[in-house]
Structure 1
Amino acid sequence: MKKCKQCNTSEFKIYPNRLCQKCLSYNKELFLLEKGVKPTISSDELITEYIIKEKSINQIAKDKNLKPFQIRKLLTDFLIPVKSQSESKEKKIDEKIFKKLTARSAFLLGYIYTDGDLVLNKTTKKYFLRVYSKHKTQIEKIKKILKSDAKIQYRKEKSYNNFIQGGVYFIHVGNQIIINDLLDFGLTLTKNENVTFPKIPKNLINHFIRGCWAGSGNVTTYNGRVFSSLTIGSIKFMTEIEKTLNLNGLKIRNIYKNSHSKKPSYKIKYAHSESEKLYNYLYKGKSTLTTSDKQQIIYTKYFKRK
């Protein structure tokens, strides 16, 4: 895989001079600044809006209080290829996905609660959603549930204050109907600390929690035994999950505080026999799109769902 000689990334298009789009545009921006020309939008911000978030020229112009021709000129100045009319069409997505919960949308909601986040665009005062996974196949499943053609991005491993943040695949969702529905369910900017368990129909709760497990859960084996755990940043949210699982046949679990993570988080753990009960409860009515492949492989190898 080709990597940029300046920043060593493969996230963006690599040009024949071995520079990625971001570095190529940034170098051109520095050149303009040296000539006394100060662009109204930085190359980094324009790449974020136009390439990563996949906004149209008209939408960017509206957000920045500029004219479309000004955005086009900036794209040209920064050597960013202008998309064709067909490429610039609004991205497809099932914007009614959360209007009425189903097994699929409940799973997706649980996944977003644990491996997604809302980000506020300070310029437009609008939110957009990012959905993550270490596994590209999981994001491909999320895209299929959303019926979305959003581009899958990759962020390489980073280090923050001695904490390693692993590389992840992700997509951006800017559809405001979906965003508003997520806000109505109670998703917040600070979901790690403050998110609470949403109102979910009783017959769909196992799908929602299975989505949480696919996002922030872990299923491992040791000496032929299966161990399951779930880690979440909100104690209120975790308490409600543990309570729900207990009401559905699993033993009461202690909730452990994890002090080794970048932010405070809370964990519940289940050993082999309880993992089988967990599997039998969570995987009722599952489909190929509403599971974690890695977790399901382990569960089905050791347990037969009742």
Structure 2
Amino acid sequence: MFQWSRNYAMCKTCGTTAIKHIATGLCSNCYTRIVNSENRGQKPIQSASDVKIMLTKEYLEVEYLTKNRSLGDIAKDCCCSRQYVFSRIKHFGITTRSKSDARTLALNGGKLIFDQCFDKQSVEKVLKKIHVNEAFFSSWSDKMAYVLGIVYTDGNIYTGNSMNNEHKSYKKVPKISIVQKEPELLEKVKKLMDCDATLYYRKEKYYNGVKSGAAYSLSLSNYALFNDLTKIGLTSDKSLDMVFPDIPREYLRHFIRGCWDGDGSVFLSSMGYICASYVCGSKEFIVKLSDILDGFGVYKGTISEQKGKNTSYKIRYHGEVCYKLFKYMYDNVDKSMYLQRKYEIFDNYYKSK
């Protein structure tokens, strides 16, 4: 005698117990009705002979080679499997694209979908090919020097793991990451680099009892950008042994402004005086920075050592020196190349005087 599956004694839709059970909680009539409703308006499945007539050599050359359509898209149009489309392509001796080319087409079309887990919840994400000016760090310019300063302070370069599905193994890929509390700075970096990558938001968390504040991140995986940054002198372990790069004199102020937007601060003291400070984990870097500013007429400040879990070094300016620093960093600079909040603290203070 027919038995319903566990936890079901009747059809959950119509309540019948007499009609043959075909799916979990559904009788055959309800199951057929639901399937027909879901597929209403779709093309009927064609016979094998009909599909064979459609998938001619001329048709496949146009759709697969000229239009660069995927096997799956062609299969949907012909109401057959992608495996059958592939067999017809091989039958006619049509050159098939490599897995790398197929992946690139899928990336361009936003078709690579994967599940990523955030806070124990699965989130469906769609991979897409990120557009970026790959030659951005290959030659000096005001924009390049400014973004380089941000990368030196809030950025990181490293080699990460990426799954190679073809060989079921991991391969090393270059990674460039910039993390900032303020999305404005990252959005400006994106525009300057002609980049359409998505910014990701990380909630405030605790790691081994240490608080990690909320932040936004911009992540890129690009060999050309990575190689150019390493040629300039950036390393993966830069925080404590970072060396000031060799920069043409005319671009120094843009690089320094980028550094200040990253690790610098501008504020009013308790007495109402404007102050500016810069903190760095590398003593060699901050000494070089102080010497360069001194060479441009900004008085060489005193560097103080700050003890803690990791030793850092701080330089601080106030009074008339701050005005010289303000003019040096911001004179005739487009607003696309500075953090608005820090600029306004400077600007509003001197406008009120």
Task: Report the TM-score, using the length of structure 2 for normalisation.
Answer: 0.61
Farther-moved stretch of structure 1 (154-163 vs 216-225): 154-163
Decide which of 244, 249, 271 is 1:197's aligned counterpart. Answer: 244
Distance 2:321 2:350 in 1: 11
Distance 1:127 1:152 in 2: 18
Other-structure match for 2:324: 277
Other-structure match for 2:8: none
Higher strand share: 2
Structure 2: where are the runs of 5+ without partners? 1-98, 104-110, 162-169
Matched, 1:101 2:148: no
Distance 2:239 2:336 in 1: 25
Other-structure match for 2:310: 263
Q: CA deviation at 1:194?
A: 1.5
Contact 2:177 2:217 survives alignment (8 Å): yes
Q: CA deviation at 1:77?
A: 11
Other-structure match for 1:132: 179
Contact 1:188 1:194 survives alignment (8 Å): no
Q: Deviations over 1:101-154 (max 9, x none)?
A: 111110000010001011221542332011111111111111111111111001
**Distance change (3 Å), C-alpha of 1:130 and 1:76:** closer
**Distance change (3 Å), C-alpha of 1:121 and 1:251:** same
Decide which of 130, 146, 153 is 1:114's aligned counterpart. Answer: 153
Distance 1:211 1:76 in 2: 36
Percent identical = 30
Q: How does 1:58-77 map to 2 (within 5 A)?
A: 75=114
RMSD: 2.7
AA of the residue aligned to 2:251: L
Contact 1:206 1:284 survives alignment (8 Å): no
AA of the residue aligned to 1:206: R
Distance 1:252 1:82 in 2: 50
**Distance change (3 Å), C-alpha of 1:251 and 1:137:** same
Q: Deviations over 1:151-208 (max 9, x none)?
A: 1001122334554321111110111101111111111111101111111110010000
Distance 1:101 1:287 in 2: 17
Distance 2:254 2:116 in 1: 49
Other-structure match for 2:234: 187
**Distance change (3 Å), C-alpha of 1:121 and 1:226:** same
Contact 1:195 1:237 survives alignment (8 Å): yes
Other-structure match for 2:49: none
Contact 1:119 1:129 survives alignment (8 Å): yes
Q: SS where residue 177 of structure 2 aligns?
A: strand
Other-structure match for 2:280: 232
Q: How does 1:1-306 map to 2 (within 5 A)?
A: 75=114, 81=124, 83=126, 88=128, 90-122=129-161, 123-160=170-207, 163-222=210-269, 223-260=271-308, 262-303=309-350
**Distance change (3 Å), C-alpha of 1:158 and 1:119:** farther
AA of the residue aligned to 2:153: T
**Distance change (3 Å), C-alpha of 1:248 and 1:109:** same
Contact 1:110 1:212 survives alignment (8 Å): yes
Q: Deviations over 1:231-285 (max 9, x none)?
A: 111111111101101111122222112223x432211000122111111111133
Q: CA deviation at 1:73?
A: 11
Structure 1: where are the runs of 5+ without partners? 1-57, 63-71
Larger radius of gyration: 2
Task: Report the TM-score, using the length of structure 1 for normalisation.
Answer: 0.70
